[in-house]
Chain A
Amino acid sequence: MKKIIDALPLVVFASLIIVLFSFLSDKDDQLETALIDSSFPDFNLGSLSDESRVLTKQDIIKLPALINVWATWCIACRVEHPFLMKLKEESRLTIYGLNYKDNKLKALDLLERDGNPFEFSIYDFEGRLAIDLGVYGAPETFFIDKNGLIRERHVGVIDEKVWEEKFSKYLNE
């Protein structure tokens, strides 16, 4: 009994170190998503390609869909661009873009050069819809199910692995 009690501080200390070290390697910087299972927020913003066109929630009609937050200043967005193109070709999913705090001309240039995976892109220069979505960086991707509810969110590059792990299951519902 005495031995156990003598060893106790060491055991507590050692387990504390192990726990804290495991937090160190935990590089997951995904914040919780407050919007899971809530409906897509209302918005009223211009279209990236057509200045005169005003887009609202009612324009997101082809469901289920992905909403992808992107910008030309965001390097990771370029990394995932080919995957979005592939996704558009291969699945029955519609992808809508949310062009976030970007230069319009540069954004249009990029779509011209590298291809346009988006049904349309909402032009959110002031980051208004982004705030309503809880966006804190680009790229971010949201899955909207056939009822218009946000089901999943991913912060960072979306690729084959992320798609399989986080998103594909909602498509088969």
Chain B
Amino acid sequence: MNKLIFFLLFIICSMQISVEEKVNFDNEAYPFASDVQESLFYSLLNELRCPKCQSSNLAGSNSPISNDLKREVYELVVEGKSSKQIKDHLVDRYGNFIIYNPPIEPATYALWFGPFILILLSVLVIIFVRKRIT
């Protein structure tokens, strides 16, 4: 029983609590005709990565390049481009690096499937060890 509680605590503690970063922007700086466009804009800023400050998204960065990219995203949103079109537009220029959610392709197989392979291996090891003990 203790083991189970310990295990559950471990799982809970290691879960990353993901809270959408609430960044207060000056709404005057980015005026939108509709709420849909506005929420698209802010969700994109959270999903796009700052190329200069490599562990931050555009929303969390105030570097000159981030501000330029925010302006770029803003203009594309106002033009009525979709989320996918805007991401493609930036990936064409900066590569997959710019998005935090990379596509599944040979270069990212290790990233996407590595954790599952590790889980599988761990399960196999556990089964094997238990078998030997009994």
Contact = CB atoms under 8 A, between A and B. Distances in A.
Contacts of B94: 31, 34, 134, 136
Interface stretch (A78-86, A111-119, A123-131): A123-131
Contact of A32 (B54, B64, B71, B97): B97
Interface string B61-87: 000110011011000000000000000
A16 to B, nearest CB: 10
Contacts of A137: 52, 65
B68 A130 contact: yes
Contacts, number: 44
A131 B68 contact: yes
Interface in A132-153: 132-137
B69 A31 contact: no
Interface residues of A, number: 21
Contacts of B69: 131
A44 interface: no
A34 B52 contact: no
B3 interface: no
A35 B92 CA distance: 7
A34 B51 contact: no
B91 A34 contact: yes
Nearest to A12: B121
A5 B125 CA distance: 10
Contacts of A34: 91-95
B93 A131 contact: yes
A33 interface: yes
Nearest to B96: A32
A101 interface: yes
